[in-house]
Structure 1
Amino acid sequence: MAAIDHIVVAAPDLEAGTAAVEALVGMRAAPGGPHPGVGTRNTLLSLGDDVYLEIIAPDPEQPAPANPRPFGIDSLSGPKLVTFAVHASDGETIDDVVAAMRVCGEDPGEIISMSRVKPDGEELHWSLTLSPAGLAEGAGLAPFVIEWGDTTHPATVTPTGCTLVSLAGTHPDTDHIRALHAAIGIDIDVNAGDSVSLEATLDTPNGRVTLR
């Protein structure tokens, strides 16, 4: 049904967030580009053939957006792994994944179109789900859904050398989250906890590390 597309580190400052990830993994994420109207920009690091790491932060060159920046960025004091995205498997669509999530009682929100311009001038286009509850605070273990269409997947055009080994986390309602993950075909180690947390294990030039 679905596969992990990318993991998201949100930060109050892009340079500081990128430097923090570089210190952990031993590689520098490459500039991605601004998200017009959202008030953010990003850097990217490949974690495999079709999965990558996004570091996202406010874009000081854009005016303040009409809505809060996604993932609770405006209230963060430092970089944090906040959530992850999934894409549909071959033969499936973003609508199929959204429908499966809704059957489990998880509404990922409406599907919207987005774009950004890379530093080399290429304009990228994609669609993703926008949930006020999820994107506003960082959904943690309930992913958002993305579809790249004809756009080249970022994992294939960003610095390589790191690999995503696994994702894990805690959640107060493990039954719901496990059922959700099973419905969309992803396997993440979820344990009971008083709050939602997410961590990623990566193989990197610095060895095996944990990103939180």
Structure 2
Amino acid sequence: MDDLSTIPANLDHLIITVPELEAGVAEFERLTGVRAVSGGRHPGRGTANYLVGLTPAGWPAGAHTYLEILGPDPQQTASADGTLPLDAHLAQALTLQTWAIHPHAFLAKVAGANTEGIDFGEVRDMSRETAEGELLEWRLTSRSPLPDKGAQPFLIDWGESTHPAEAGLPAVELLEFSIESPDAEATRRALDVLGAADTQVVDGSEHRLHARLRGPGGLLEF
């Protein structure tokens, strides 16, 4: 039986980065049997995304979580140094890059992280236009390079915008999610402060994210 306790209750979304967006979407479909749908572009950031819903069996009705496939936007000019947000320029294949949580009291969690010396970067206002022309606006914590190689989540607050998972996305099941850390206790302390204390953390030689997804076409594991 799949252990749903390994999936944090405040999970907002997972981010997979790819070196080429259309090819990455095709590869995800080949492995899972699910075709992601266009999410939209990030003007001035050099990226665009495709989205897939995540449906952990047993989660309460109305829970919102999804998977973002992020890659270079061919309609935007690349930055002079070739870098992309969320270190997406480093992807060589489908890469589980990082994850986002939506804790209650976003600003209180930011203040708590500051107090505890957790380096989350800065709070930024973001927006993108969906494929249907709707403007989504949100705020998040952002740091480059990613803290703990993406194993430390960033915080997100969608404000009054419609959450992307409410768009009736094609979906895969999220069966497992965990973090590997060379200092598991320190990672657990940080997650507690940020609002994801229920995340499974295991000892490992480096920071890594692990997830297991199931679609009608097969399993995809990171």
TM, length-normalised to structure 1: 0.87
Distance apart, 1:103 and its partner CA: 4.0
Distance apart, 1:160 and its partner CA: 3.4
Number of aligned residue pairs: 206
**Do structure 1's residue 93 and structure 2's residue 90 form an aligned pair?**
no
**Do structure 1's residue 132 and structure 2's residue 132 form an aligned pair?**
no
Contact 2:86 2:144 in 1 (8 A): no
Residue number among 50, 55, 65 corresponding to 1:43 in the alignment: 50
What secondary structure does 1:165 align onto?
strand
Distance apart, 1:206 and its partner CA: 3.5
Residue number among 20, 23, 42 corresponding to 1:16 in the alignment: 23
Q: Which portions of structure 1, spanning 4 or more consecutive aligned residues, are displaced by more than 6 angstroms?
A: none
Q: Which runs of 5+ in 1 are unaligned?
A: none
Over the matched positions of the two proteins, sequence identity in percent amounts to 37
Structure 1 residues 25-40: aligned runs within 5 Å: 25-40=32-47
Residue number among 126, 146, 166 corresponding to 1:114 in the alignment: 126
What's the counterpart of residue 215 of structure 2? Answer: 204
Q: Deviations over 1:46-74 (max 9, x none)?
A: 11331000000001111123672123222
**Do structure 1's residue 141 and structure 2's residue 151 form an aligned pair?**
yes
Q: Deviations over 1:68-95 (max 9, x none)?
A: 212322232212001100012xxx3221
What secondary structure does 1:23 align onto?
helix
What's the counterpart of residue 170 of structure 2? Answer: 160
Q: 2:214 and 2:65 mapped to 1: Cα distance?
A: 13
Q: Which moved more, 1:121-130 or 1:4-13?
A: 121-130
Distance apart, 1:139 and its partner CA: 3.7
What's the counterpart of residue 5 of structure 2? Answer: none
Change (3 A) 1:126 1:190: same
Contact 1:83 1:142 in 2 (8 A): yes
TM, length-normalised to structure 2: 0.84
Change (3 A) 1:193 1:113: same
Amino acid at match of 1:107: D
Computed over aligned residues only, the root mean square deviation of the Cα atoms, in angstroms, reads 2.2
Q: 1:97 and 1:29 mapped to 2: Cα distance?
A: 32
